[in-house]
Amino acid sequence: MYAGTGAIGIEALSRGATAVTFVESNPRAGQLLRKNLVACQLSEQAEIRTATTEVFLQRPDWWNGAYDIIFADPPYAKMQAADLLQQVWAIGLLSTNGVMVIEQHVKADLPRTLDQAVLVKRYVYGDTALFLYGPAPSKAVLA
């Protein structure tokens, strides 16, 4: 989500991902993304959705089933990353053991837990932070 030039998804494909759905609302960025996929000979494994993330999340017919990994790089301070995280889990966009990575400014304060997700690790690279979320442990009790 917020694919830009597609660098993250292209890297995933080059490292063995079988398919990537790119979501990018900017048509110019989408054109560059297409060119990058062609140059890397990865077009067959990619699907580009030219829409906002909000529209994509409302269009299950655009999804390729549940995803194992979702990487989101929302504009810093534009969309609440925590809201995006909550919505992705609530609508079932992630597979049972899927993970979500959200890129934000290092000073961003994202929640450690949500109903469906828990912060597994936070990576810091200069002024950028990557927040890795996984499924929250089951609250079921065995008696």
Q: What is the pLDDT of residues 85-138, one digit of tens each?
A: 888 888 989 998 899 999 999 998 888 988 788 999 999 999 999 999 998 876
How many structural domains is the chain composed of? 2
87 within a domain of the structure (yes/no): yes
Instruction: Give yes or no for residue 78 having a pLDDT over 80.
Output: no
Q: Please tell me whether residues 37 and 57 are part of one structural domain.
A: yes
15 within a domain of the structure (yes/no): yes
Q: Mark which of 17, 35, 64 sits at the end of a domain.
A: 64
What pLDDT does 24 receive? 96
What pLDDT does 84 receive? 82
Specify the higher pLDDT residue, 84 or 47: 47
CA distances from 95 to 30, 33, 66, 124 (A): 26, 26, 5, 26
What pLDDT does 7 receive? 94
Half-sphere exposure in the Cβ direction for 93 (13 Å, CA): 27
Q: What is the pLDDT of residues 19-76, one digit of tens each?
A: 999 999 999 999 999 999 999 999 999 999 999 999 999 999 999 889 999 999 888 7
143 within a domain of the structure (yes/no): no
Domain hosting 100: range is 66-137
Contact, 72 vs 1, CB < 8 A? yes
